[in-house]
Amino acid sequence: MLTFILGACVGLVLGLTGAGGGILAIPALTLGLGWSVTQATPVALLAVGSAALIGAMQGLRQGLVRYKAAATMAAAGWMAAPLGIHVAARVPGTALTTVFALVMLVVACRMYLQSRRDDEAQGALQRNCMLDPATGKLDWNARCLATLASIGAGSGFLTGLLGVGGGFFIVPAFRRFSDVRMHGVVATSLMVVALVSLGTLGHMFSQGVTLSSTGTLFTVSALAGMVAGRVAVPNLPARLLQQMFCVLCVAVSLIMLGKVFSSVG
């Protein structure tokens, strides 16, 4: 029952924010079920990747996904993910948990500060990737391509290193460097998370990684949570969701750091 509840919560947050499920999957498995980061990584990737795929398909039907941008970020992510896996295999578990918690803390604080800025004021700024007013599509140029590829590579490396979907990195970065509205950012993030997570998981399977029945249950419950989150998200303010997610991430990261320090002490 605990596994089902934790998975459903991860899927729900991913559906609501497009960013939170991946970064909360590892803490749910390590703090909630007592797994190591290494054990939790493939399960988190399968759960988050599958759930994100459902959300991305819905976003495609609604015309929210910037599919060319998603494909660009995912391609860069696929190339960077094996490097993250390679580094993770050579880093002690305690150090990996500490890095994960610190990354979560920094990203959460940045997202919270970003959410407090005026959306209209942000939209007036010149970004690396701007929408063409005539077509409503991104104006592709070398600067935009390089920006999206960099976001994707960063997401892929973190996916391989920390076993997260990368949405917590994609959402604030894509929002910072483009003038795409928040719901479009979330939908595009879900597509990238799905492609990079499942691609990275395939690489792990090729190296002999397997899943337990508990991991399968966690995945199924995450899918249910994702469906519920995507149904509810149109009725909730994006800024409030982002701020609530940030507060949750800060709390979880502090708990993880406290656990690391207590074990060292």
Domain ranges within the chain, ordered by starting residue: 2-264
Q: Is the per-residue pLDDT at 22 higher than 70?
A: no
Per-residue HEC secondary structure of the chain comes to CHHHHHHHHHHHHHHHHCCHHHHHHHHHHHHHHCCCHHHHHHHHHHHHHHHHHHHHHHHHHCCCCCHHHHHHHHHHHHHHHHHHHHHHCCCCHHHHHHHHHHHHHHHHHHHHHHHCCCHHHHHCCCCCECECCCCCCECCCHHHHHHHHHHHHHHHHHHHHHCCCCHHHHHHHHHHHECCCHHHHHHHHHHHHHHHHHHHHHHHHHCCCCCCHHHHHHHHHHHHHHHHHHHHHHHCCHHHHHHHHHHHHHHHHHHHHHHHHHHHC
pLDDT tens profile 114-164: 767 655 445 445 688 988 888 888 889 999 999 999 999 998 898 888 776
Which of 72-86, 89-103, 117-131, 223-237 holds the top average pLDDT?
Answer: 72-86
69 pLDDT band, cuts 50/70/90, is: very high
209 pLDDT band, cuts 50/70/90, is: confident
Q: What is the pLDDT of residue 80?
A: 93
pLDDT: which is higher, 209 or 170 = 170
Quote the pTM value.
Answer: 0.76
Q: What is the pLDDT of residue 124?
A: 47
